Amino acid sequence: MSEPQITVLDAGGQYCHLIARKVRELGVYADVRPSDTPASELAGRKGLIISGGPSSVYEEGSPKIDPAILSQSSAVLGICYGLHLMVHELGGVVRRGALGEYGLAVLNSTGSHPLLSALGPGSQVWMSHRDRVESIPPGFEIIASTDTCAVAAMAHKEKPLLAVQFHPEVVHTEHGREILAAFLFEICRCERDWDPADRIGPIEEHVRKVAGSRNVFFFVSGGVDSTVAYSLCLRALGPDRIYGIYVDTGLMREGETEFVRELFQSLGAKAFRIEAAEAEFLKALEGMSDPEMKRHAIGEQFVRVQERILNSSQFLDGSWILGQGTIYPDTIESGGTAKADLIKTHHNRVAGIQKLIEEGRIIEPLTSFYKDEVREIGKELGIPSRFLQRHPFPGPGLAIRCLCSESVAVLERRLQGWLIPVRSVGVQGDSRSYRPALLLEEPPSIEALKTATRLTNELSEINRVVSKVASRLDIEHMEVTRGFLTSDRLTRLRLADAVVRRHCEESGFDTQVWQFPVVLLPVGDGHAPDSVVLRPIHSVDGMTAQVVLMPADLLQKMANELLEIEGVSAVFYDLTHKPPGTIEWE
C-alpha cells in the first residue's frame, strides 16, 4: 500500500486497533502510529484519529501529541482521551469528574453537525471515562451531551477539528459506523482504496515467510482461535509439517478432551496427541488467590510442560517453531502497546512465551484480528460451524472462573446492597481495576440492570454488581469462605458449568449470547462454601460486552438445579457490562 489516508494515533487505548479496523472495513486504508508521532511524518493524511487511553492529560508522563497536527490541513477526530488531549492542547480545561461513566449512555445531540447527522434523538453510545471537560477551547461548540457528561461531543466552528467522549468504534454504540463514515467521507473526503475481504491469501503467505523451512507445532485447546490458526498453518504448509498437542490441564470443562480429539481428527491432522498434566497444574496453583499470579502460574506451567514435551521429542533441533492462536484482544489486554494499561496477562503473553517471541520461535497468524473476524476466517477455511460458533473459553480454563480467598470475611451491609469482599478484575477508563462486587437483594431485571449501571458509575470502591437469584441462606448469614483451587472446587464448578450449558442448549438460549461464563465465588457457609455467578453477555469482538437477561422461567429452573450441587449455597447474576467489568472475573 501507498501512504494511508487515515492514521490512528495510539494513546494506549483498549480500542485503538479496533478504530483502524473499523476504518478499513469502511473501505479506507488506515495505519496505527504512536500518539506523539511528529506532524511532519503525518503530512498528507486526509484525517487523523486520536485514540482513547488509560491516562489523564493533566498527569505528568501522560501520552501527548505533536500540537502541530491541530493546525495542519488534516481533519482530526479525538475519541475519549483524544478529546481530552485536544481540549488540553487548545486552551480548554479537563478535570477529574465526581462520577464515572462506564458502559451505556444516552446521547442528546444539540445540533445538526455532519458528524452526528445519522443519530436520532436519544441514541445509545458506549462510554468509558471518569475525567470530564470543564470548559471547551475557544472556537469550539458543544454538539452533544449526556445526562452526566456535558461535553459528549464538540467541534470547531471553522476548522476540521472534532472530538467525542464516547466510543463510535465499538459495536454497542448505535450508528457508530455511520459516525466514522461521516468523518471519513464528508469531513476528510477520503476515497475507498481498501478491500477487507481478502485475508486468507496474505495470512498464508505470512505463515510461509515466517516458517521458512521450519515445521510448526501447536499446543491446541480446541477453542476457535487456536483451531483457526492451526488450520491456516495446515493449509499453508501441509499436514506433514504440522504437529498438534493438547495439554489436559485438569482446568477444562466436562467432556472437553474428547471434543478436542474429535475436532482435530475432522481437520485432517496427521500428528496429534493428548498430554495429561492435571497434577502439575494444580500443584503450580496451590495456595494462590491473586488473579495475575494465577494467570502467570498457568502460563509458566504451560511453558514448563511444553519444554518437557519438546525435550523428549525432536522439536528442539532448530527445525520447529511454536504456533499460537493469539488474537488482538489478548495482546492489548496484556499491555501489548507502549501506552496501554495491563488489564490481565493472557497465558500466551507470559515471560516464557515472550522469550520465544524474542528468539523468533513463534508464529501467530491471527494477532491482528478480533474474535468475529477469526470466526469469519474459519468459515472461509471450511471449519464446521458447530466448532466455530462455540462460546469463547479462556486459555487458563476454569482456574480464572474459580475465585479464591485466603481468609474468612463477612459481607458488609451498604445502603445500596451488600459489599462482597472478594475482588474481581475490571476495566474502567482503559485502566485495570481490582475491586469488590456489590450484591443486590433484588432479582435480575431491567430495573436492576439500570441500578447496577448507575452504581458502578457512582461508587468508586466497586467495579461489578451482582443480583441474587436463589439461595439456601439469607444474605446476612453468608460470609466469604476460605477456598483455593482444589479438585473438589473445580469439580463443583465443572458440574455447575455443565448444568448451565445443558439448559442453554436445550432452550436455545445459547444462540442468544456470545459467551456465558459460569463463576464459582467463595461465598456461603461451612456446609455450602460456594456460590455460582451466571454471566451471559452479548459481544462481537470481546472488547465491549452487554449483559443479556435470561427468561425468568429458564433462570429459575437453572438455579434450582444449581442449588442441588453439593457445596453450592446461592446463585447470583452478574449485571455488569464491559466496561466497567471485564467479561471474565479474573
CATH class assigned to 401-574: alpha beta
Which residue is catalytic, options 167, 175, 347, 577?
167
Residue 82 grid coordinates: 483524544
Domain ranges (residues) in the chain:
6-187, 200-398, 401-574
Which residue is catalytic, options 16, 80, 149, 233?
80
Residue found under cell 459467551 = 515
Q: What is the pLDDT along the chain (586 residues), one digit of tens a residue?
A: 457 899 999 998 878 888 998 998 999 988 889 999 999 999 999 999 999 998 999 999 899 999 999 999 999 999 999 999 999 999 999 999 877 788 889 998 876 799 999 888 889 999 988 899 999 999 999 999 998 899 999 999 999 999 999 999 998 899 999 999 999 999 999 999 887 667 798 899 999 999 999 999 888 888 899 899 999 999 999 999 998 889 999 999 999 988 888 888 888 777 788 999 999 999 999 999 999 899 889 988 987 887 788 677 666 566 888 898 888 766 555 555 555 555 555 445 555 566 767 777 789 999 878 788 898 899 999 898 888 888 888 878 999 999 999 999 999 999 999 999 999 999 887 788 999 999 999 999 999 999 999 999 999 999 999 999 999 999 999 999 999 999 999 999 999 999 999 999 999 999 999 999 999 999 999 999 999 999 999 998 888 899 999 999 999 999 999 999 999 999 999 999 999 999 999 9
Looking only at the bridges linking them, the beta strands covering 47-50 and 75-79 are parallel
DSSP secondary structure string for all residues of 406-437: SS-EEPEE-SSSEEEEEEEEEEETTEEEEEEE
Rounded CA gap, 162 and 259, in Å?
51
* Residue 571 identity: V
6-187 folds as Rossmann fold (3.40.50)
Coil/strand/helix, residue 199: coil
* Contact (CB, 8 A) for 301 and 397: no
84 catalytic? Reply is no
* Contact (CB, 8 A) for 543 and 14: yes
167 catalytic? Reply is yes
CATH class assigned to 200-398: alpha beta
SS3 sequence of 293-353: HHHHHHHHHHHHHHHHHHHCCCCCCCCEEEECCCCHHHHHHCCCCCCCCCCCCCHHHCHHH
Which residue is catalytic, options 169, 333, 584, 586?
169
Looking only at the bridges linking them, the beta strands covering 123-135 and 518-521 are unpaired
447 catalytic? Reply is no
Rounded CA gap, 125 and 102, in Å?
10
Q: Identify the helix (H) or strand (E) that includes residue 276.
A: strand 271-276
Reported as half-sphere exposure (CB side, CA atoms, 13 A), residue 456 has a value of 34
Domains 200-398 and 401-574 share a fold: no
